[in-house]
Amino acid sequence: MKTIAFFDTKPYDRESFSRLADENLNIRFFENKLNADTVSMAACCDGVCAFVNDSIDKTVIDKLEEYGVGVVALRCAGYNNVDLKHANGKIRILRVPAYSPYAVAEHTMGLILTLNRKLHRSYIRTRDHNFSLEGLTGFDLKDKTVGIIGTGKIGCVFADICKGFGMNILGFDPYPNENFKGEYVDLDTLLASSDIISLHCPLTKKNTHLINRETIEKMKKGVYIINTSRGRLVSTEALIEGIKTGKVGAAGLDVYEEETTLFFEDYSEEVLLDDKLSTLISMPNVIVTSHQAFLTREALDAIAKTTLQNLTDYFSGKELINEVVVNR
């Protein structure tokens, strides 16, 4: 039997993984995030399961190697929190490349609909017995242009949803997808032409702060910016500035560049010390959700099944089809 140290555990993780794991894997669930201070919890384990805000840096990798841990199974698609070059030859890094693109794409459209039709504000008003419609005017999505940056599986599903609303669809991706039902254009054309811009790309060194003062300046006045991908794709300072000037009409964020110590935790009894996040949350035309776009029953089961299969394949010596290989 192989023992797996499972970090950053939440009740929904325990339920799906406990239900689907076979008798050959002994999972030790820890609430702590994986980092240099907690990596010792993986001692005497054969593998590690980590999530998006766990830190698999040089120190953690060296400690895992020292403990004899040969595999880190990421229960997510992204791997920007892993030092891949340092892991090369020391630790095998596995991931879940796809779970439910529908979950993230549908959440994205939910953010757009809520922002546009002011559903969040209406909900609060009617609870206070305020039935005024003042300030709740939205716009038809039909014939509006949506710019999708990143046209992988999630981007393509989101494009299909937008097509159902009768929207014009533009796409930008260095690697065009034949399944994308929209028109590919260069980034500047997408920025200048889109009423709504939605991010569905992985985070890399090249696209960190892809949304910044310069790119926002190229956008339409009143543009909606939606990010359900990775927080550091958007410069928070530039976004706040754009909202204050009216250049950005609204923002829907399921991710935030400084989310690591905040998201997935309950701080409702504490003062929020992050001034930029506090500013965003206070704005009536901004919705921040806590990295929940993936959170559907179907997605959780798919994540668990793929992660467990990745681990089983590793310990069985099979081909690791979901291994993340460093670019040499």
Residues serving a catalytic function are 230, 259, 291
Identify the residue whose tokens are 């110590």: 261
Say which DSSP state 40 is in: G
Please give the Cα distance from 328 to 326 (Å, whole number).
6
As a three-state string, the secondary structure of 278-312 is HHHHHCCCEEECCCCCCCCHHHHHHHHHHHHHHHH
Q: What string of DSSP letters covers 91-114?
A: -EEE--S-S-HHHHHHHHHHHHHH
Say which DSSP state 82 is in: B
Among residues 214, 212, 225, the alpha carbon closest in space to that of 254 is found at: 225
Identify the residue whose tokens are 């798919």: 302
Q: Is 166 left (phi over 0), alpha (psi -120 to 50) or beta?
A: left
Q: What does R_g of the chain's alpha carbons equal in angstroms? A: 21
Provide the CA 277 distance to its chain's centre, in angstroms: 17
Q: How far is CA 195 from CA 179, 190, 192, in A?
A: 23, 10, 9
